[in-house]
A and B are shown apart, each in its own frame.
Chain A
Amino acid sequence: MLGDFFSRALVAGVGLAAVTGPLGCFVVWRRMAYFGDTMAHSALLGVAISILLSINMTLGVFAVAALVAGALLLLQRQNTLSTDALLGILSHSSLAVGLVLVGFLTQVRIDLMGFLFGDILAVSMEDIFIIYGGGVAILVILALNWRPLLAATVSPELAEAEGLKPEVSRILLMLLMASVIAIAMKLVGVLLITSLLIIPAATARRLSATPEIMALVAAILGAVSVIGGLYGSLTWDTASGPSIVVAALLIFLVSLTVPTARLFGRRESHGA
Chain B
Amino acid sequence: MDMRMKGETLITLTNASVKSGGRVLVEGVDLSIARGEIVTLIGPNGSGKSTTAKMATGVLKPSTGTVSRKPGLKIGYVPQKLSIDWTLPLTVERLMTLTGHFSRPEIENALAAVGAGRLLHAAVQELSGGEFQRVLFARAMIRKPDLLVLDEPVQGVDFSGEVALYELVRQIRDTTQAGILMISHDLHVVMAETDTVICLNGHVCCRGTPAAVKRSPEYLALFGTRAAETLAIYEHHHDHEHHEDGCVVGKGGTHEHHHDHAGHSHG
Contacts and interface: CB of A to CB of B under 8 A. Distances in A.
Interface stretch (A130-138, A158-166, A172-180, A249-257): A158-166
B125 A269 contact: yes
Interface SS, B side: loop
Nearest to B97: A147
B89 A159 contact: no
Contacts of B132: 270
A29 B82 contact: no
B88 A154 contact: yes
A155 to B, nearest CB: 6
Nearest to A29: B88
Given A155-B79, A160-B58, A270 B127 contact: yes
Interface in A70-99: 79
Contacts, number: 105
B57 A160 contact: yes
B75 A163 contact: yes
B91 A210 contact: yes
Contacts of B58: 160-161
B83 A270 contact: yes
Contacts of B127: 270
A205 B88 CA distance: 7
Nearest to B79: A158
Given A28-B87, A209-B89, A214-B89, A265 B149 contact: no
A264 B132 CA distance: 17
B86 A269 contact: yes
B149 A271 contact: no
Nearest to B127: A270
A151 interface: yes
Contacts of B85: 29, 31, 269
A237 interface: no
Per CB-CB distance, the 9 closest pairs between chain A and chain B, nearest first, are A265-B123, A271-B83, A161-B57, A161-B77, A271-B81, A265-B125, A162-B99, A269-B83, A160-B59
Interface of B: 21, 54, 57-59, 74-77, 79, 81-91, 94-95, 97-101, 123-127, 129, 132, 143, 149, 156
